[in-house]
Amino acid sequence: MIAKKPATPHRRSRWLRIVFKILGVFVVLSLLMVVIYRFVPPPVTWTMIFDPHGITKDWMSLDEMDPDMARAAIAAEDSRFCSHHGFDAVAIAQAMRHNASGGRIRGGSTISQQTAKNVFLFQGGGFARKGLEAWFTLLIEAIWGKRRIMEVYLNVAETGIGTYGAQAGAIRYFRHGAQRLTRAEAGRLAAVLPLPKKREAIDPHGFTRRYGNSISARIGIVQRDGLDSCLK
C-alpha cells in the first residue's frame, strides 16, 4: 500500500492563494452588484428564473406606491425595520423559542434579509445560503439604506403564482395599481407574502382573511408610532 504524501508547505500556500483569490473576486463582484442595484432595478432574480409559472412584474418606485403598502409590510414582516441594522435579535430569539416548542415553524428574518435573499440568492440552501444572506444583508444596509431596501423588496417579493411585486400583485387581485391601494387591500397583499403560492389576496378565507384584517388594523399603529420613519 502506497502511503499518501503529506501536503507540503508550498502546496498549502498555493491552495490558500487560490482560496483568497476566489474570495477576493466574490467580494468585488458582490460589491459591484449591490452598488449597481442601488440605482438600477434588479432585472430578474433566481426565484423568477426558476419559476415554472413565468414572470409577471411591473416595477414601481416607492414614491409612486401608496405608503400603506410599505406600512403593511412593516406591520406584517418586520415591525423593527427602521430601528435594526439588518438583523432583529429579538425576533430571532422569539422564533427560536417558538420553534423549540414545536408547531408551525416561524422564521426571524427581517425585510432586509428577505430582500438580500430574493435579489442575490436562491431559496433553500441551508447554512451556506444563510451565510451569504448575512453578507448581502450587511452590504445593502450599508450601501442602499432602508428606503431603497423597502423599494426593492416591494418590487421583487412574490405576491402570487408567477407574480412579483406590489404593483403586479395589486393589478392581479384588485384590478388597479399599487398607487391607490386601500388599507384593506394593502393588508391582504401583505398577508400573501409569506406563502404567495398558497394564499390569494382576493376574496381570502380563513387564516389569510384574519391575518390580512389584523395587518390592516396595524397599519395605523405603524403610522402613528413612526415605525415607518426611515422611509420618509
Domains and CATH numbers, the chain: 13-231 (1.10.3810.10)
Could you tell me what percentage of the chain is helix, strand and coil, using 3-state DSSP and rounding each to the nearest 5?
A: 60, 5, 35
What value does the mean pLDDT take over residues 138-143?
Answer: 98
- How many of the other CB atoms lie within 10 Å of CB of 96? 12
> Which residues lie across from 224 on neighbouring strands?
none
At 174-191, the pLDDT tens digits run 999 999 999 999 999 999
Classify residue 178 by its DSSP letter.
Answer: G
CA distances from 188 to 157, 174, 181, 214 (A): 14, 10, 10, 9
Q: State the pLDDT at residue 90.
A: 83
Residue 105 has pLDDT above 50, yes or no: no
Q: What's the distance, Cα to Cα, between the start and end of the chain in Å?
A: 72
Q: Which amino acid is at 71?
A: R
From 6-15, 149-158, 196-205, 222-231, the region with the lowest mean pLDDT:
196-205
Query: Residue 33: is it exposed, middle or buried by C-beta count within 10 angstroms (0-12/13-18/19+)?
Result: middle
At 5-32, the pLDDT tens digits run 555 677 788 888 898 899 999 999 999 9
* Crossing angle (nearest 10°) for helices 67-77 and 146-156: 90
What value does the mean pLDDT take over residues 126-149?
Answer: 95
Q: State the pLDDT at residue 113.
A: 96
> For residues 196 and 173, is the Cβ–Cβ distance under 8 A?
no
Under DSSP, is residue 56 helix (H, G, I), strand (E, B) or coil?
strand
Residue 163 has pLDDT above 60, yes or no: yes
